[in-house]
Structures are given as structure tokens and as C-alpha cells.
Amino acid sequence: MRSRSRNACLFSKAPIYGYFLLLSILLHPHFAVAQPRHYRGNPGGLEDQVRALVDAARKGDQAPFRALAIPDASSWFRQMLGEVPGAALAAKYEEGRAEFETVLPALIRQAAETRKDIQIRHDDELVRDPFFLALRAVMRQPDKVLAVVLNPRDDKSRFHLGYFVYLDGFFRYVGWLFVVTPNHENELFLARPGIKLQYPEILQKPRPRYPQAAKSAGIQGTVRLAANVTSSGKLKDVRVVSGHPFLVEAVTGVVSGWQFKPLAVEGKPIETPVLLEFTFTIQS
């Protein structure tokens, strides 16, 4: 009877032992699911995260790249860009989600071998980028987006990693978003990881002179122009968005001489709109 009661006692505790055994197995490092590290939601935090991605890419560790995708891409793109364009870009984004774990680590590893520095372009710098200004005009919350550039050792080329957005404790990868103008209508273009993309740059930009009449009258402020950069890198269809007439005249007289390296996808130049800002300030 004593042996029988002892066995009964052991079997009655078996579920408890089994629970702790299962818990110990799940908590073992081999079975544990890696949680992404949290970063500060500022340029310094993004720089730390990108450096961690570079290290992971060199080690062949794909875990940090799995957390880069925007969890609910459909809602985020619609919130940022509106219902119709947001839905279209969300679908494009989902198509390239698998490339975050394959193509993106390879690109970062290759870029890190030839680049010496990581540059985080935040809002203060992006507002001076006429192509981002065009994108900002159609985005509802552009201040949430940061861009990453890997600077080269030879100062001849840059590797533009793309835009990141801060969500739930760390930065998620968006890619490169551009506004393009096929058939003279603005459309949003999302460049997926691995696509051969040439980021547009300003090659020549003669600066306007402060009109003496405006300076004497104490007139200062910002002039905003909208235009298109053609596939050959010239400005066309220049339109005044805002600005004092005295200052506008000084700006429109020089922008015709600006030369751009146009946006190119897979080696093909694409026409894209830009917004240009010129600020005139009377120094005391």
C-alpha cells in the first residue's frame, strides 16, 4: 500500500515536473527567439543600429535583418502617403520583404568593405535635398523618416542605403522612395533592396545674389520653386511656389544654370520633380 501511494504521488506531480521541464527547454539559448535590441529614436540611435547591421552582415547573422521590415506596411504607407498611393507602395514593399534577409545583408557587407563612414541624414540635412523636398511635399509625416548614406574611402561615390523609420523601439527599413513624373503626372517609386539605383545629385548650382534693392528695403525670407529634373539633368517647367517678388526674380535668373545627375533605375535616367528652397537673410 505504501509503494502504491508513493507512485500515485509521483504521477500526480508529473504535470508540474513536465511544465518546468518544458519551460527550461524553451528558455535554453538554442531554442530562445532573439529579440531585437532597442535603439534611441534619433540619428545617433540609427547610426548605432546601422553599425550593428554592418557587424551582423560581416558575421553572416541574418537575425537583425528579420526585424527591419515594417510590421503593418499597409497601414504605415497609407498613413504616410494616402490611401491609393500608400496601398500600391505597400504591395510593392511586401514583394521585397524576403530580400531584407538575403539581398540587404550582402549589399551592406559589400558597401562596408569600401566605405569608411556612416552618415545619417536627418531632417535638418534632408530639407536641403531638393529631391527629398519633393517627396516631403507628398508625405504626411516626413519628420519621422531618416536616411542612411555610407561614405566612400575614395570620396568618388556614395552608397545610399535608404530611408528608415522609427517604430516600436528601433528603426525599420523603408527603402528609397522617389517621386517620378511619367507622362507629366507625379507618381511615387519605391526602390527595393538590390535594385541598381543612382541617387540624384546636384552637380552645378550657381547661387543667387541677394538683390541690393531687397536688402536695402529689409526684405528677407524663403523662395520656393517647383520644377522637373529631366533625364539629361536639366531643370524644366520651373514654377514659383512662394516668395517675395524681389527675391523670386534673383532666384529664377540662376536656376536655369543648375545641372543635376538625374535619378536612374537600372541605368535608365528617369524624370523626377524637385522642390528648391532659397533662404535670404540679412546678417546683422
Q: What's the pTM?
A: 0.69
CA distance 195 to 201: 18
- pLDDT tens across the length of the chain (284 residues): 444 444 444 334 445 544 444 444 444 444 444 556 788 888 888 888 888 988 888 888 888 888 888 988 999 989 888 888 888 888 888 888 877 778 888 878 777 776 666 677 765 666 667 777 777 777 877 767 777 766 555 545 566 777 888 888 888 888 877 777 655 566 777 876 666 777 778 888 888 999 988 988 999 999 999 888 999 999 989 999 999 999 999 998 898 889 998 888 878 888 888 888 888 998 74
153: left (phi over 0), alpha (psi -120 to 50) or beta: alpha
Architecture of the 203-280 domain: 2-Layer Sandwich (3.30)
CA distance 137 to 45: 26
CB atoms within 10 A of CB 228: 19
C-alpha torsion 167→98→187→198, nearest 10? 100
User: What amino acid occupies position 87?
Assistant: A
Q: Give the pLDDT confidence of 79-99 residue by residue, as tens digits.
A: 888 888 888 888 888 888 877
The whole-number pLDDT of residue 101 equals 76
**Angle ∠(169,174,178) on CA atoms, nearest 5:** 145
Q: Give the pLDDT confidence of 2-23 residue by residue, as tens digits.
A: 444 444 443 344 455 444 444 4
Give the residue from 128, 130, 163 showing the smallest Cα distance to 148.
Answer: 163
Q: Which helix (H) or strand (E) covers residue 94, if one does?
A: helix 83-95
User: What amino acid occupies position 261?
Assistant: K
Residue 10, SS3? helix
CA dist 122 to 6, 76, 127, 129, Å? 69, 20, 9, 11
The whole-number pLDDT of residue 183 equals 57
